[in-house]
């Protein structure tokens, strides 16, 4: 018997088209937004600033600070109240979107997201991943209200760093492996869960078939259909998996491994999606699915996704292994949604087996 699900299927409005950002003034006018806080990244903002439309309303630009923390959200929410902002616009990647959504929830304001990357589904989903001041992931919060508007200009994403797109592919690939690990345990699949399963499988199929062509589009700076498909897979389809499946479509082993890796300071230089991609292989080791790992390895090698700790430029001591394994097994971690009983000893064993399997 499945638990009661809450469907959070999509933002209120979502649009992908060339020069999509140019329609921002009319969207603000329709929403009667006249005084906005614009939260943005650093490098990404410098790259996309020329594309940000001129707005004939009051606007206040702020660098987000580099992390999505409780403290940062409190700061920006207070700013919204003091400056009487009536809307928030996020321009950037996943952490910018997460902080802006978190702030909008606290300040009870509409939130509009203009992604500069296709590295996560953060622009699509009504949740934020919260970190502490030392970059350790502490939780994710789900909000009772969808993002008001997502405007995606594929031309802008085409010129984003290719390694971030690859990390997004690694992150999104996990949707299938994590959702299927949970959904496969159900005797009856409600329609919502069927939608989550369908979109999760679609994520895997599109990425395995079209990622190479999409990355070639980025190298050639020329949009093709594969590029559009992979962008929408990383943002829209990935968001739909958890949006419809709720806890049956969110995360399982791969993301718990990612979360656990954040306790290692040396892991912070690695992109989120790369650590998740590694987590997929650890999860498959736990599930004893060696043929699936073998089938994935050529794809990983082609895209330069990490297949082991060496690829992540990490050397773990025994105490590091123990710290990661214990964090991955924390009671609130979604690794416990898997069928297998999970212990720190099992995680350490499987991480070490993966090293041998992929370095021989």
How does DSSP assign 62-99, residue by residue? Answer: EE--SS--HHHHHHHHHHHHHHT--EEEEEESHHHHHH
Q: Write down the pLDDT at residue 80.
A: 97
Q: What is the pLDDT of residues 211-227, one digit of tens each?
A: 999 999 999 999 999 99
State the average pLDDT over residues 50-74. 96
Counting Cα atoms < 13 Å in the Cβ hemisphere of 102 gives 26
Whether 88 and 104 have beta carbons less than 8 Å apart is answered as yes
State the average pLDDT over residues 6-30. 96
Q: Output the pTM of the full model.
A: 0.93
Q: What is the pLDDT of residues 267-276, one digit of tens each?
A: 998 999 999 9
**Confidence class of residue 136 from pLDDT cuts 50, 70 and 90?**
confident
Rounded-to-integer distance, Cα 6 and Cα 173, Å: 23
Whether 218 and 165 have beta carbons less than 8 Å apart is answered as yes
Local structure of 49: helix, strand or coil: helix
Q: Write down the pLDDT at residue 343.
A: 96
Whether 150 and 11 have beta carbons less than 8 Å apart is answered as yes
Token reading at 276: 């998740």
- DSSP result, 231-263: HHIIIIIHHHHHHHHGGGSS--HHHHHHHHHTT
Looking at residue 337, the DSSP 8-state letter turns out to be: G
Q: What is the pLDDT of residues 170-194, one digit of tens each?
A: 999 999 999 999 999 999 999 999 9
Q: What is the pLDDT of residues 104-126, one digit of tens each?
A: 999 999 999 999 999 889 999 99
State the average pLDDT over residues 62-84. 97
So which residues are the catalytic ones? Answer: 171, 255, 258, 272
Question: Taking all residues of the chain, what is their mean pLDDT, rounded to a whole number?
Answer: 95
Helical H runs in the chain? 24-30, 43-48, 70-83, 94-107, 154-158, 162-183, 191-220, 225-232, 238-245, 253-261, 272-286, 290-303, 318-328, 344-359
Q: What is the pLDDT of residues 311-359, one digit of tens each?
A: 999 999 999 999 999 999 999 999 999 999 999 999 999 999 999 999 8
- Angle in degrees, CA 348, 354, 355, rounded to 5: 95
Whose CA is closest to 230, among 201, 253, 206, 246? Answer: 206
Instruction: Give the length of the chain.
Output: 360
**Confidence class of residue 247 from pLDDT cuts 50, 70 and 90?**
confident
Q: Write down the pLDDT at residue 2.
A: 62
- Judge whether residue 12 has pLDDT over 60: yes
Q: Write down the pLDDT at residue 250.
A: 84
State the average pLDDT over residues 42-60. 95
- Judge whether residue 1 has pLDDT over 60: no
- Judge whether residue 3 has pLDDT over 80: no
Q: Write down the pLDDT at residue 31.
A: 97
Q: Write down the pLDDT at residue 357.
A: 95
State the average pLDDT over residues 116-141. 92
Token reading at 102: 């978190």
- Judge whether residue 278 has pLDDT over 60: yes
Q: Write down the pLDDT at residue 110.
A: 98
State the average pLDDT over residues 70-96. 97
Q: Write down the pLDDT at residue 359.
A: 86
The percentage of residues in the chain with a pLDDT greater than 90, rounded to a whole number, is 93
State the average pLDDT over residues 248-256. 93
């Amino acid at each position: 018997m499945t638990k009661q699900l809450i469907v959070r299927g999509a933002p209120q409005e979502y649009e992908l088209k060339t020069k999509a950002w140019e329609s921002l003034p009319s969207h603000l006018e329709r929403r009667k937004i006249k005084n906005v806080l614009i939260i943005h990244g650093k490098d990404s903002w410098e790259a996309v600033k020329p594309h940000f439309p001129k707005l004939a309303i009051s606007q206040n630009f702020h660098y987000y600070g580099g992390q999505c923390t409780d403290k940062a959200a409190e700061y920006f929410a207070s700013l919204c109240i003091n400056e009487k902002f009536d809307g928030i616009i996020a321009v950037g990647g996943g952490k910018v979107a997460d902080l802006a959504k978190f702030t909008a929830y606290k300040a009870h304001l509409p939130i509009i997201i203009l992604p500069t990357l296709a590295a996560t589904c953060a622009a699509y989903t009504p949740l934020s991943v919260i970190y502490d001041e030392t970059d350790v992931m502490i939780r994710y919060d789900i909000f009772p209200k969808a993002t008001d508007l997502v405007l995606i200009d594929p031309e802008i994403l085409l010129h984003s760093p290719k390694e971030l797109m690859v990390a997004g592919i690694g992150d999104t690939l996990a949707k299938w492996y994590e959702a299927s690990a949970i959904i496969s345990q159900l005797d009856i699949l409600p329609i919502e869960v069927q939608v989550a399963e369908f979109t999760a499988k679609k994520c895997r199929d599109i990425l395995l078939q079209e990622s190479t062509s999409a990355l070639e589009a980025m190298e050639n700076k020329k949009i093709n259909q594969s590029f559009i498909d992979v962008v929408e897979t990383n943002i829209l389809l990935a968001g739909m998996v958890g949006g419809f499946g709720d806890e049956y479509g969110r995360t399982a082993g791969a993301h718990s491994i990612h979360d656990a890796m954040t306790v290692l300071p040396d892991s912070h230089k690695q992109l989120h999606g790369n650590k998740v991609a590694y987590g997929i292989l650890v999860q498959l080791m736990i599930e004893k699915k060696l043929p699936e790992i073998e089938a994935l390895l050529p794809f990983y090698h082609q895209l330069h996704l990490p297949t082991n700790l060496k690829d992540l430029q990490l050397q773990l001591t025994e105490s590091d292994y123990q710290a990661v394994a214990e964090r991955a097994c924390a009671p609130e971690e979604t690794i416990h949604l898997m069928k297998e009983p999970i212990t720190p000893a099992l995680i350490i064993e499987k991480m070490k087996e993966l090293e041998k399997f992929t370095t021989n």
